[in-house]
């Protein structure tokens, strides 16, 4: 015997929870898949903004290992100077999720 639907607020909450679970699943899946793509290490001198990029490394773990070694060597070399060291995925042209429409098509044609 079918059950009667709950009050509208309960149905809306259930729909929001299902949508949130789907969104979380997609975000986690995308983040995990991104770990296996090439990554770069980005080093920025905080007071001056001088930036360098190293890599690409075969995956996130290799880049994170290189970033830690680089951070350690910068600390020993630069002394009091502050550096920001970050790891980021290296996206192929046309695969950048921040580009949309015409920009993505132009990037693919380059």
Buried-state track 67-85, b at ≥16 Cβ within 10 A, e below 16 = beebeeebeeeeeeeebeb
Q: Helix (H) and strand (E) counts for the chain?
A: 3, 3
pLDDT the model gives residue 47: 80
Task: Give tens-digit pLDDT for 21-63.
Answer: 988 888 888 788 888 999 999 999 888 889 999 999 999 999 9
Question: What's this model's pTM, rounded to 2 decimal places?
Answer: 0.61
- Domain ranges in the chain? 1-34, 37-109
């Amino acid at each position: 015997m079918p059950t009667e639907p709950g009050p509208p607020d309960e149905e809306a909450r259930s729909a929001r929870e299902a949508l949130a679970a789907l969104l979380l699943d997609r975000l986690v899946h995308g983040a995990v898949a991104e770990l296996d793509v090439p990554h770069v290490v980005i080093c920025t001198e905080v007071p001056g903004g001088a930036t360098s990029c190293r890599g690409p490394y075969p995956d996130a773990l290799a880049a994170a290992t290189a970033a830690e070694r680089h951070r350690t060597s910068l600390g020993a070399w630069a002394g009091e100077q502050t550096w920001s060291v970050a790891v980021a995925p290296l996206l192929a042209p046309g695969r950048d999720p921040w580009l949309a429409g015409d920009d993505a098509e132009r990037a693919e044609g380059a």
